[in-house]
A and B are shown apart, each in its own frame.
Chain A
Amino acid sequence: MKVVVLVKCVPDSQLARSLVAPKWNMKRCDVSEIVSELDEYALEEALRLAETHSGSVTAVTVGPARAVKAVETALQRGAESGVHIMDDALAGSDVVATAVVLSAAVRRLCPDVVIAGMASTDSGTSLVPSMIAEMLGWPLLGCVDEVLTDGSVLRVRRERDHGLEVLEASMPVIVTVTDRASEPRFPSFRTILAAKRKTIHSWSLSDLGICSSEVGWDAARTSVESAVERPSRGAGHIEKDEGHGGIRLAEFLLERNLL
């Protein structure tokens, strides 16, 4: 079974992030870039599928030179090979352009299953996977908590606000995985060493037969006019419990008319 996992390189969401004028794109800084945390769950499901069905995992990313880190991370966890799609013309791409590039890569790799995160942790539109599904004419099983297969059909379980669903689809299919799926594994010394011997293919737009006018700032269907930081909520009154903490809490609620 051939599995492709899509991994995006993003600024660490635990650190301060900002948007910069004039085009209001993300401020990037090489040191704080990591693989989008939610893509780690996608990677884990991909590895489990491949392990139980003697398959292989290829990790794919689109982004500038530093984005290769996302693929390297995947190789260290056990993915077999990697693809890094990089081209100067890609700067400023919107979701459609990103999906055009990734769907071309998927077409070229011909996998049985594509697994993506439920959303990136930076722009977080959650649209890229459904656009790829539409461009390829594939079904999408979105926001699933578990992926299983008998080798011919894919079976997923997902929990929604209104209940639980178990769904099946034939392959090829694209799946997005939530952070309720299995805990992502850590790399081991052995897998980190093994990763050094694996190849990362570097593809440009022309390798994928994509014209540079289809992507980047000029092709973007949206443009950002302005961005302002929202004022953050300040702290109020904090006190240590000296034995009457619960009473103080109730008094506060009474004072604020919340009882």
Chain B
Amino acid sequence: MSSVYVLIDRPHGEVSEAALGLLTLAGQWGDPVAIVLSERASDEGCDRDSAGIEPSEMVALSRAGAVEIIVARPVGVSPESGCVVHSGELMTDAATAALSERRTAAELADVVLASGTPEGREIAGRLAVRLKAAVITDVVALLPVTSDSGFRVKKTALADAFEVIVRSTRRAAVIVVAPEVASAVWAKTCETAVFRDVVPRVRPLKCPLRMGTSAIRVVERRARDMSERPDLSKAKVVVAGGRGTRGDFTSIEALADALGGATAASWAAVSAGWCSADRQVGQTGQRVSPRLYVAAGISGSVHHRVGMQDSQVVVAVNKDPDAPIFGIADFGIVGDLFTVLPQAVEEIARIRGRIGT
């Protein structure tokens, strides 16, 4: 089998679930090879092959099926220089170095999988230019490779209204998978607990920098305070508020707490400064598909719907009977969220008291 390269992103200094899902997906097309960028520059002294990557991360990568883990360490950058370690250019350099070293006559095709985060897309774009590769984004499934059809994938288009089968007409292809799809693949692997558990080869790679990598300097970086409520992307229940809350999220939070769910927001609520950007659901925010999505004071524009329409059950509360959100709601109440939500919270407590949960 030929190698399928996977760009591993580590947004919090830890391998993302989406990256692990990509490795699982890569197994459908060949032998998954993980390319990881170490934060430790190679001139810092080489202690271990996997220096800079936590042992637990290495275990996760092998459980996800990586037959080989390439640990790229930049040459000539130190954290003190203030260089962005996760800059797209650096990862592109790492991937280019990894691939050019391995390009042999035996390996006819180069396939690289990336996650569709902003960084993932930057690297995909740069890499496709260097490899003269096709690049396909918003991919939701890899299709079986037949003898001469090239790599075929399924992607979504036009705010998820269409499913499209696209083929690469080049030998080399960069496939950008929707991050929520990749994360879901890994969640499923964990649920079924069927891990590939191969023993991967670990290969350090010195990665000389090209171009103006050091042209980008980090002035400030502040981690977000993590909320006590469940993470939006993983929550089974999401309660979202929009402009109709007029900035008062008390009843949204109360219902989320009653249901053990996460809170979310429309663009209007984020742009008014009522919620932080990581709470936004929709085209320019996150895509979620929980068991239950409650939208209160949200009109349900096409841009918002694209982020939540794959939820199992949708409940809407809106004053306006003509709000488009009702068009996709399993259950809707035409009414004022400031009376409906608190009453629901009370009733939930009463029902729970009655049935004793």
A interface, CB within 8 angstroms of B = 13-14, 17-19, 24, 38, 94-96, 99, 118-119, 121-131, 133-135, 137-143, 145, 155, 159-170, 173, 178-180, 220-230, 232-241, 244-254, 256, 258-259
Contact = CB atoms under 8 A, between A and B. Distances in A.
B351 A250 contact: yes
Interface in B1-28: 11-12
B278 A249 contact: no
B170 A221 contact: yes
Given A127-B124, A258-B291, A259-B348, A221 B224 contact: no
Contacts of B168: 221-222
B54 interface: no
B165 A130 contact: no
A142 B164 contact: no
A162 B328 contact: no
Contacts of B332: 235-239
Q: Chain A binding site: helix, strand, loop or mixed by DSSP?
A: mixed
B215 A223 contact: no
A236 B333 CA distance: 11
B170 to A, nearest CB: 5
B152 interface: yes
17 contacts: A125-B135, A130-B88, A160-B11, A164-B220, A169-B217, A170-B212, A221-B134, A221-B170, A222-B136, A228-B164, A234-B328, A238-B329, A240-B334, A246-B344, A249-B315, A250-B348, A250-B351
Contact of B88 (A19, A121, A142): A142
Given A133-B122, A178-B284, A228-B163, 18 more contacts: A19-B162, A118-B284, A127-B124, A155-B219, A159-B278, A162-B12, A168-B217, A225-B165, A227-B162, A233-B309, A235-B326, A235-B329, A237-B332, A238-B333, A245-B340, A246-B340, A247-B347, A248-B333
Contact of B137 (A126, A179, A232, A256): A126
A224 B165 contact: yes
B118 A126 contact: yes
A13 B166 CA distance: 22
